[in-house]
Amino acid sequence: MLVDAEGMGLRNGWAAAACRRLSWIRSLTSAVHVSANMVVGVGAVYLAWTGTTTTVQTTAIAIIGLTTISGLAAWVRHARQTVTADRLDILRRALNTAADAQMIATPDGQVVYANSAFQHMFPGNEPPLDRVERAVAADVDALRNFRQLRSRAAAGIRGTETLTLPDQRSAAVACFHIAANPITGRAGYTFWDIRDVTTRHKSEMILRIERDKLVDFFDNAPIGFYSADSSGRFRFVNRTFAQWLGVTPSELLATGAGLHDFLSPAPVAGTASSDPFGDPGNRTHRGEVLLKTRQGRALPAWIGQSVVGSGAEMCTRSVVCDLTPEREWKAALRLARRFQRFFANAPVGSALLDRSGRFEEANHALGELFGIEPKDRTKTDWPSKQRRPPRHRGQARGDGAGTIGTRTDRDQNRAAARENHSSVPQPNRRR
């Protein structure tokens, strides 16, 4: 690595030795200077002692004074140089121990100083910035961004970029943060700092992935979420709730729509804008409401919410459940129960057969036909399809389901049953 004449710019392997040689040369120069001053001073004293005229003595005294002043100046300069050299040595050692690659570049791109980390990260003999450019050349976007950063640095403009570079230490792709800082008072000189942020980048990526998963979970959850402020305007809605209302989340937030815009009927006067219930006595903050979509469709829903903050800082945290599937399920259940009553009380015999021809279920009319009690109408061994009366034999499907139709004349049914099924118990005759 190169350093300047003050001890900042030699190859990394012999920089310390070069600094020691320069320090020794400075010490020798100072010693020669002091010795010369001493010789001149002694000569001036001798001249003043042996001189007989006033002019000679005055000249000798002046020489002695100048020599003394020169010696003091040389001593002060040497002391200052020693302090400066020590400070530069400390700075050099500190930069060399830094984990970040650091470099000072001239206006023409040449190096003034580069620490050990830079040399280790970007080995080579070409100019340092060319080494970095060569390292990012494999990635077109990274190469373009680095060239833009280099152009800004040459113009004296501060800039930063996060680029993907091949890590020479591990032969893997790593992420680096590169900063170019112009040096004040040195036009065109730039301090470059290249920091390995691979670990932080990976952590941020993991956090970003987890955050995206969480956002996706809340956005597409089977229940709705929203938050409204004190004026009733939506501050947050998930995608599910917005779809129920027939809009998109961005549209709902951009238009400044409020909660009461989607309630049917409209709440009574005096209801808080964030209250979906319209009931001042509702202290539980939960209950059923009827929402109205943008398309005018009614949507029964259950809302539970908590209120946080007060005044202008007040907002709600609300959960919405669509009651439409539950209402449809209840309607289907009522229909099934109605059909069950119709099946049980139908004036014709109906039955469900399994694959072996056994009756799985039969209604009251069929039970009376064969004289079977209600408790015995399930999984009974009474007539299979081979033993049923031909005139009352149902058409059984391949899945074992079938129906048996009867005539309303029960006597004829019973006679046919006795004629064709002697093994079947005789039905009880009811008058």
The pTM (predicted TM-score) of the whole model is 0.50
Roughly how many angstroms between the first and final C-alpha of the chain, as a whole number? 120
Q: What is the pLDDT of residue 353?
A: 80
Phi, psi for residue 380 in degrees, rounded to 5: -95, 165
DSSP string spanning 366-394?
Answer: HHHHHT--GGGSSSB-S--TTTS-GGG--
Is 161:146 a contact under the CB 8 Å cutoff? yes
Structure confidence by residue, pLDDT tens digits, 38-69: 655 566 555 555 655 666 556 656 666 666 66
Phi/psi of residue 169, nearest 5 degrees: -75, -30
Q: Is the pLDDT of residue 135 over 80?
A: yes
Average pLDDT in the 239-248 region?
93
Residue 232 has pLDDT above 80, yes or no: yes
Architecture of domain 224-326: 2-Layer Sandwich (3.30)
State whether residue 341 is helix, strand or coil.
helix
Mean pLDDT rounded to a whole number for the chain? 74
Alpha carbons 345 and 337: distance in angstroms, whole number: 12
410: pLDDT strictly greater than 50: no
Higher pLDDT, 405 or 81: 81
SS3 355: coil
Dihedral in degrees, nearest 10, Cα atoms 224, 229, 232, 235? -50
Q: Is the pLDDT of residue 15 over 80?
A: no
Q: Does domain 102-200 have CATH number 3.30.2290.10?
A: no
What's the pLDDT score for residue 210? 93
| Position 125 pLDDT exceeds 70 | yes
Q: What is the mean pLDDT of residues 347-353?
A: 82
Most confident of 12-21, 246-255, 279-288: 246-255
What local confidence, expressed as pLDDT, does residue 136 receive? Answer: 84
Confidence of residue 216 (pLDDT cuts 50, 70, 90): very high
Alpha helices for 98-139 (secondary structure H):
116-121, 128-135
| pLDDT above 90 as % of the chain | 16
Dist CA 159 CA 67 (whole Å):
53
Of the listed ranges 178-182, 244-248, 260-264, 423-427, the least confidently predicted one is 423-427
Residue 15 is which amino acid?
A
Strands (E), 130-213: 159-167, 172-182, 190-196
CA 149 to chain centre: 28
